[in-house]
Chain A
């Protein structure tokens, strides 16, 4: 009996050491690590899948965690590409410099941050100012904006999210209400609002709009007006977003450490090329705007 146990342990040890010792060393050049934005993760996973089909020798690993996580990983040299739905802030630029990392920014899609409500909520449009007040916690009841007498139930992201930061900078220009529930990703916000009659949340457009502009069942997308004198527009229509009529739009970024070369460069070119941009549209997002394309080209892509 004693002998049998040792035999088993020995077997395990043998299998394991075989795994450890004889495993081929992973060639860092063949594996591209992408981390970061939850808004972008689905899109980039799809782009990576298609790219890998055409380039069998390349392995791309795409994980989420939020834009902040991706940027931190880039600074800590733990990823090749940081997906970020916001720009680097001053603290991060400083930290990058200190760590010897040179952020190289590429824009590969356009997003319209959409505000979603429960389908039974009669409110159909709001101004940016009203939205800001709601998320700051200054407007607390739906009846103040023409809705039912219900306490507003806020759904947002966590501080590692680029969408969280972008929405705050652009719409709130102040701090989020401490009563806002921090969800782990866009999908959790959608799920929360679907079940919550008093719910309101902000998500990347690709999570609620399909490739033909159709809205995901179970939520209602708010039309947003720049101010109370302007018309309110829906983010579901591409022309609203590309022309700037829908006010809450933003470029989707990828940050690398210095100008990419080799397979990494090919992947970046693929994403902003015609095939990549088609995939972007199919996933419910919008293609890169002209001025950002110029930016990419100036950097050599």
Chain B
């Protein structure tokens, strides 16, 4: 044991200590950075929770004052009534569902047909026209579609059906169908494309033609994906505001006639939020509508998620 080895040992220990401290700091910094990103990721939950909480908190006063049944069992929405204010949102819910189902009735067959065309029949060139076209359709803002509902679809409907005007549930359904088509087409197309080639080849080998293969093999295998796409399209339609605000005539009464004017939940909020003084019963009741909308779209999304999850499990 001499001076040199003692010094070098001390220096070594010192260096190791420094290296350890440095590693520690780096790990701490890394942990900090990871924590930072985690917080960012958490914002999604925070925002969703925030929206839910806010809607609930702001609806509560209305529920407390009027009771839940007034809203859900009443079919008359007239908060600024001459006599007794009525807050029944049943007719609004029915109207929203009417345009949504009407839209799906148009968009589902068209959408699946178009998706099937793209995935099964279209040549490469056609695909390169169709796919961007669908994306373009998706990019058209709702206010423009609503505008066309007023100036273009309105006169066509009134002439076609011989009625005095064309601002009604049918108009809304057509417009919403146009808006949900891109979602349904692209997701259904993905689902169809994911069907293993072997399924189709086996079917053709057994003597089925392309149509039979499509209807009896491809579509059933892709059914979960297609259903999920329909649910998403449905969610979009329920939540759409400007299109229905401009083109459905906004008559709040309860009706099941597609050729009559209706008023959806979203349109009601858009119409009345601007005119209510803050923190009045009428104001809170608009949040009730918002809350119902939120719950509806949440449920639809959840169902679509579950379907997709089951789909992935089955595939495995």
Contact = CB atoms under 8 A, between A and B. Distances in A.
Given A72-B277, A76-B277, A160-B274, A195 B165 contact: yes
Contacts of B277: 71-72, 75-76, 92, 95
B82 A180 contact: no
Interface string B256-283: 0000110100000001101111101000
B80 A159 contact: yes
A299 interface: no
Contacts of A158: 250, 271-272, 275
B76 interface: yes
B275 A68 contact: yes
A179 B253 contact: yes
Given A173-B82, A196-B165, A199-B164, A181 B261 contact: yes
B79 interface: yes
Contacts of A168: 82
A76 B278 contact: yes
B239 interface: no
A46 B76 CA distance: 39
Contact of B164 (A65, A71, A150, A159): A150
B260 A179 contact: yes
B229 to A, nearest CB: 34
B275 A66 contact: yes
B61 interface: no
Contacts of B276: 68, 72
**B252, B255, B278, most chain A CB atoms within 10 A:** B252
B186 to A, nearest CB: 28
A181 B252 CA distance: 8
B253 to A, nearest CB: 3
Task: For chain B, give the interface size range.
Answer: 20 to 34
A182 to B, nearest CB: 4
Nearest to B248: A181
B61 to A, nearest CB: 15
A180 B251 contact: yes
B217 to A, nearest CB: 46
B280 A198 contact: no
Given A179-B253, A195-B165, A159 B261 contact: no
B127 to A, nearest CB: 30
Interface in A63-89: 65-66, 68-69, 71-72, 75-76
Nearest to A68: B275
A159 B250 contact: no
Task: For chain A, give the interface size range.
Answer: 35 or more
Interface in B140-185: 154-155, 158, 164-165, 167
B8 interface: no
Contacts of B263: 182
**A72, A150, A165, A184, most chain B CB atoms within 10 A:** A72
A182 B82 contact: no
Contact of B274 (A65, A95, A173, A199): A65
A71 B276 CA distance: 9
A101 to B, nearest CB: 10
B254 interface: yes
A147 interface: no
B304 to A, nearest CB: 33
Nearest to A199: B164
Given A175-B81, A179-B251, 15 more contacts: A76-B278, A150-B164, A158-B275, A159-B79, A160-B271, A165-B80, A168-B82, A175-B78, A178-B251, A178-B252, A182-B250, A182-B251, A195-B155, A196-B158, A199-B165
